[in-house]
Chains A and B, each alone.
Chain A
Amino acid sequence: EADIYQTPRYLVIGTGKKITLECSQTMGHDKMYWYQQDPGMELHLIHYSYGVNSTEKGDLSSESTVSRIRTEHFPLTLESARPSHTSQYLCASTKTVRTEAFFGQGTRLTVV
């Protein structure tokens, strides 16, 4: 059982609201990732982190931002949600770059 948790699981929010999606892992992994995925489709990397105070943008441009103040915590923030942000967001972590990636259950975001 993976020790990586995402909250909330589901979120419906109005346009223009600020939201933060939480991701925490208890495995002590340095590397963490955020992916955006539409149902049954590709996993698009939007942010990643090598460790505390390290964040990088991924392959897919995103209006979201991330922070990594603690090893175990990697929250994703949208300052002003729009309907185009409706998607599933998956958080993952790895011990090193060449080992298994552990995923959270995901947050399904709907912006109305």
Chain B
Amino acid sequence: GENVEQHPSTLSVQEGDSAVIKCTYSDSASNYFPWYKQELGKGPQLIIDIRSNVGEKKDQRIAVTLNKTAKHFSLHITETQPEDSAVYFCAPMGGYQKVTFGTGTKLQVIP
């Protein structure tokens, strides 16, 4: 199956700073690259995604960049706010039928 790794596993930033989380994957057939945010007591929820024919996508303070050659994609959050504190998961999808999530990154934004 797909091998998915996320780094870092934990990340603390000051409010207003930027945060970057990286996801590496093994399946060269992957062509859909989503990021999910999980708040305490809830299930993960999609926040941004990108498909393989696009290198970068931005939605207000969040962006995703893709490097298909190197098999990694990253989540960028600018001007972080306390409500960005959560666990973030990547879930690259390709040829395999099942959805495999990354190991997760716990982001803490310090006011």
Contacts and interface: CB of A to CB of B under 8 A. Distances in A.
Contacts of A48: 97-99
**A: contact size bracket:** 20 to 34
A12 interface: no
Nearest to A50: B97
A42 B42 contact: no
Given A43-B104, A59-B1, A105-B43, A97 B89 contact: no
Nearest to A39: B40
B interface secondary structure, majority: loop
A38 to B, nearest CB: 11
Contact of B101 (A43, A98, A100): A43
A75 interface: no
Given A33-B99, A94-B99, A106-B42, A42 B49 contact: no
Interface in B72-101: 87, 89, 91, 93-94, 96-101
Contacts of B34: 100-101
Contacts of B103: 42
**B: contact size bracket:** 20 to 34
B24 to A, nearest CB: 15
A101 to B, nearest CB: 5
24 contacts: A33-B98, A33-B99, A35-B101, A40-B104, A40-B106, A43-B44, A43-B104, A45-B99, A45-B100, A45-B101, A48-B97, A48-B98, A50-B97, A59-B1, A90-B43, A92-B43, A92-B99, A94-B99, A98-B31, A100-B46, A101-B46, A103-B44, A104-B43, A106-B41
Interface of A: 2, 31, 33, 35, 40-43, 45, 48, 50, 56, 58-59, 90, 92, 94, 97-101, 103-106
